[in-house]
Amino acid sequence: QLTMSLNSSTLLNEEKAQGAQRNTEGLESLLQTPSSIQDNPLQQLQLASQEVLEKAKKSGRSKCPRCNSSRMFYCYTCFVPVETVPTKEIPTVKLPLKIDIIKHPNEIDGKSTAVHAKLLAPDDVTIYKYPCIPEYEEKRHEIALIFPGPNSVSVKDIAFHLQKYTKKGVCSSDDDCSREPVLKQAKIEPEAEKNPNECISSSRSEGTGLKKIIFIDSTWNQTNKIITDERLQGLLQIELKTRKTCFWRHQKGKPDTYLSTIEAIYYFLVDYHQEILKESYKGQYDNLLFFFSFMYTLIKDAKCCAGKE
């Protein structure tokens, strides 16, 4: 699955292109290969210990504690680790915003990285299978959709553009909307006994007006059906900075700026942290790539051993 990070001009050109089938190379046949982070572009991430994944790799497939299906590392239908991967050994990431992921019905669950977000940030991520998605119209003033297009804006401009939205919809006059910014930084009451991280994230997100981000989980050729859904019309669209994907199932014939869903979520949060929260990034969301980086290394090493690189 791919969530795109590219310029609008690239988008328009790619809409006309015919997609190719994705690489269907299975992960399980690669699991017995040695692991190495040499030449790994993800090696600078500040990750929790992946020893639990190393052990699970050696022991092979295991049962899902909920549906009893045989899986490797995690169950992609129940969104839980398998029996050989104790939940307590999987890192948990606290996000500054809620995230909705809309999966295309034809997207193969086992090939999607969207489940990584649910596994690692279970309190902040919800996955919906299209067409069963929420109604967003009443909350357009606090929601944005990650999707490149002619009207997409950059992360740093989110607060400015959300000023044009009200609880009842979009203002009819841009002049009226932008004349006087009304967004204010929420105050943290000193006497309140709350988790400091929760206080910080909630107050900063209040300061932008943004509370939820929507991602589409599908191949590029499948996105049109979802993005044109009337329930997503009128939402502020955000375009990510151009970054190159590390996804091993990258679509042939597509630019390397087309990101997997978990990569898009990660890079958006890094940008949000730096450009909206105005803080230096120190790896706060790196563990969102906990599974992704491990699988990337496995597959890269397997290809090297097979003489494909």
| pLDDT number for residue 178 | 36
| pLDDT number for residue 252 | 61
Q: Report DSSP state, residue 251.
A: P
| CA distance to 87, 290, 297, per residue, from 197 (Å) | 22, 21, 31
Q: Report DSSP state, residue 153.
A: B
> For the range 265-270, what are the long-range contacts, defined as Cβ-Cβ under 8 Å and sequence gap of 24 or more?
265/3, 265/99, 265/117, 265/215, 267/5, 267/240, 267/241, 267/243, 268/146, 268/155, 268/213, 268/238, 268/240, 269/95, 269/96, 269/97
Task: Point out the residues of the chain with pLDDT beneath 50.
Answer: 2, 4-39, 168-206
| pLDDT number for residue 100 | 98
| pLDDT number for residue 21 | 38
User: Closest Cα partner for 111 from 3, 24, 216, 31?
Assistant: 24
Q: Which two tokens stand for residue 293?
A: 């980086």
Torsion angle of the four alpha carbons 270, 126, 133, 3, in this order, in degrees rounded to the nearest 10: 40
Work out the burial of residue 309: count CB atoms within 10 Å of its CB; fewer than 13 is exposed, 13-18 middle, 19 or more buried: exposed
| pLDDT number for residue 307 | 64
Burial 220-231 (b: 16+ CB within 10 A, else e): bbbbeebbeeee
Residues 6+ apart with CB under 8 A from 222: 104, 106, 107
- Enumerate domains of the chain plus CATH numbers: 54-82 (no CATH), 91-163+208-308 (3.40.1280)
Radius of gyration of the chain (CA): 20
| pLDDT number for residue 167 | 52
Distance CA 79, CA 75 (A): 6
| pLDDT number for residue 71 | 96
Q: Do 2 and 247 form a contact (C-beta atoms < 8 A)?
A: yes
| pLDDT number for residue 250 | 59
Q: Report DSSP state, residue 218.
A: B
Q: Which amino acid is at 116?
A: H
Q: Do 97 and 158 form a contact (C-beta atoms < 8 A)?
A: no
| pLDDT number for residue 30 | 41
pTM of the model: 0.74
